[in-house]
Chains A and B, each alone.
Chain A
């Protein structure tokens, strides 16, 4: 079981579903959420500057939506994979989206940090599959 995962999605229902399904399949102990890329980055910034002395939990896995207001998934990844977030970007990213645009799929292959590209909704079999894949 993972310690902490981060779900980034602008849709509260999706976030609610994530929380419930993840909890039910005992995928992670803690689930934190962010409504868009910027808020997620803000969260990492807070971790970085406010708790310098304290060793706090970092998300081990990020479920990332692509189409979001303010800052979308791709822009978030571009920031997150930069040096500024080097202490956090050991986390793996799973794109969880409703997109069917083949360009998105092709683009995902260019980011080594993305370990999978999955179609919504999140389901228990999906999490079982991920557990196997990540050898948890």
Chain B
């Protein structure tokens, strides 16, 4: 540029000089004074040189101004270009969906987000704002459009809104939409550009947190959160308490938040050992569960079950404590009542047992004398037949009384002895013992007895009880056999998992279970008019089975037979 200025200046000077020289040549032909001639020529040359310099100065000034304007323009241009490029890059990179709405023409353009976020293909996307509004959830659309139009009419400063936007697959996404207006020279809104952000995840998370929060706010248990650090071995400062805590303790939250004491009020009846346990756990940053009496603001006592749980952050440093408390006053009351009741019942039971021992002792003492005396008479010859008859009757009754009392005694002892000793018992041996005790009856009636217990050779049980059980059942089978057919008894033992099932089946006269099902195992229940039945056998059997932790059931049909099923743990 500079050279151009100089060039122009030089051309100007040359032309001027040329014109000057021509003028002077012409003038010289008319004017002869040599003195004036040189004077004028020097003056003209000086004039031309000065004007040339001025001309050059002006030109160069102008030039530099132009250059700076040009530079500025160039810069602006480049900035615009760069900004456009940036916009393109951002629009491509952003997860937001960007829309550009020409309001007067009602034409709206969407960037690729409409496809990548909401699943609409380019051809599905409408060109007008109606398409946009149609996609907004009906519950949100009125509120949203009111806000949007008041913004366009420039009643509001800013526009941003949350609403649900329908995706191509029909589901809704929560979105945050933010926009700004472009105005013409009259200040009229002509264009609006916005960005839609998918906040479904945040919204869902928010709702999840809200739901979780209801656990705390709605919980009937008191929940409070404290700071991590305790000062002077006290309970750390409280950061939060839920409504249940306020209700339980009677405090207002402003009386509690930020305080370090008063998680519960110590009082005369508080368990100081439990409180020490709690403070120790806080010091050691350990979980802790205590129960103690606490006091409300108004000094009312209540029982509280109190847990403190330390919360650790990612670095494993304790950040808070969470405490859950439950008012267990009613529970405690019930517990005390229950304990009291149990104590009372235990005592009553003990007294009754003692009473039954004393009664039976007092019955047995004179009875044993009677038996002893009768034994003595056996050795004395009695001449009088009537006296002999009387003594025989006397002896029979006495022995029957003795048997009855002995049976009752057995019952009492079984009931008193729930934890009797168990041992490995061989079923074979048990049967041998039982059969030898009944050898007379077996010899007399010759029943067909089938035994099948090779699968359970050993049984962990009480020997005396299992013998008594089998003896009673076998005696019953023989006693209540059918007169019309030969007595058949089958006894099987099977082991299923940890249970032994003993089945005892006969073909005797049976029991009418429809009438007697609930009485079968009862005390003094008799179903057949037999002279020597006392109604004790099955009661004893059931007591003994149950004392050993087993169960017994019966199936019976009149004149067909009876089956007992006994189940033991082995």
Contacts and interface: CB of A to CB of B under 8 A. Distances in A.
Contact of B364 (A17, A98, A123): A98
Interface string A89-110: 0000000011111100000000
A102 B356 CA distance: 12
B372 A122 contact: yes
Contacts of B371: 121
B369 A13 contact: yes
B379 interface: yes
Nearest to B369: A13
A24 B379 contact: yes
B416 to A, nearest CB: 6
Interface size of B as a range? 20 to 34
A102 B413 contact: yes
Interface in B402-439: 409, 412-413, 416-417
A75 interface: no
Contacts of A122: 372
Contact of B361 (A17, A99, A121): A99
A14 interface: yes
Chief secondary structure at chain B's binding surface: helix
A120 B357 contact: no
Given A21-B372, A21-B376, A121-B372, A11 B417 contact: no
A119 interface: yes
A94 B361 CA distance: 18
A20 interface: yes
Contacts of A119: 368
A136 B48 CA distance: 175
Contacts of A101: 357, 361
A20 B374 CA distance: 12
Contacts of A120: 364-365, 368-369, 372
B369 A102 contact: no
B375 interface: yes
B373 interface: yes
Contacts of A102: 413, 416-417
A67 interface: yes
Nearest to B412: A100
B372 A123 contact: yes
A7 B309 CA distance: 72
A121 B370 CA distance: 9
Interface residues of A, number: 20
A17 B373 contact: yes
A68 B365 CA distance: 12
Contacts of B413: 100, 102
A37 B456 CA distance: 52
Interface in A116-136: 119-124
A60 to B, nearest CB: 23
A99 B415 CA distance: 16
A114 to B, nearest CB: 18
Contacts of B409: 100
B381 to A, nearest CB: 15
B262 interface: no
A99 B364 CA distance: 8
A49 B369 CA distance: 36
B160 interface: no
Interface in A24-42: 24
Contacts of A100: 357, 360-361, 364, 409, 412-413
Interface in B356-403: 357, 360-362, 364-369, 371-373, 375-376, 379
Contacts of B362: 98
Contacts of A11: 365, 369
A108 to B, nearest CB: 15
A24 B375 CA distance: 12
Nearest to A24: B379
B287 to A, nearest CB: 45
Contacts of B357: 99-101
Nearest to B373: A17
B369 A121 contact: yes
A37 B412 CA distance: 28
Interface in A55-112: 67, 97-102
B471 to A, nearest CB: 20
A20 B361 contact: no
A117 to B, nearest CB: 14
Contacts of B376: 17, 20-21, 24
B365 A98 contact: yes
B368 A121 contact: yes
Nearest to A123: B375
27 contacts: A13-B366, A14-B365, A14-B368, A14-B369, A14-B372, A17-B376, A21-B372, A21-B376, A24-B376, A24-B379, A97-B361, A98-B360, A98-B361, A98-B362, A98-B364, A98-B367, A98-B368, A99-B361, A100-B357, A100-B364, A100-B409, A100-B412, A100-B413, A101-B361, A119-B368, A121-B372, A121-B375
Q: Which 7 A-B pairs have the closest CB atoms?
A: A121-B372, A120-B368, A98-B364, A121-B368, A17-B372, A98-B365, A101-B357
Interface of B: 357, 360-362, 364-369, 371-373, 375-376, 379, 409, 412-413, 416-417
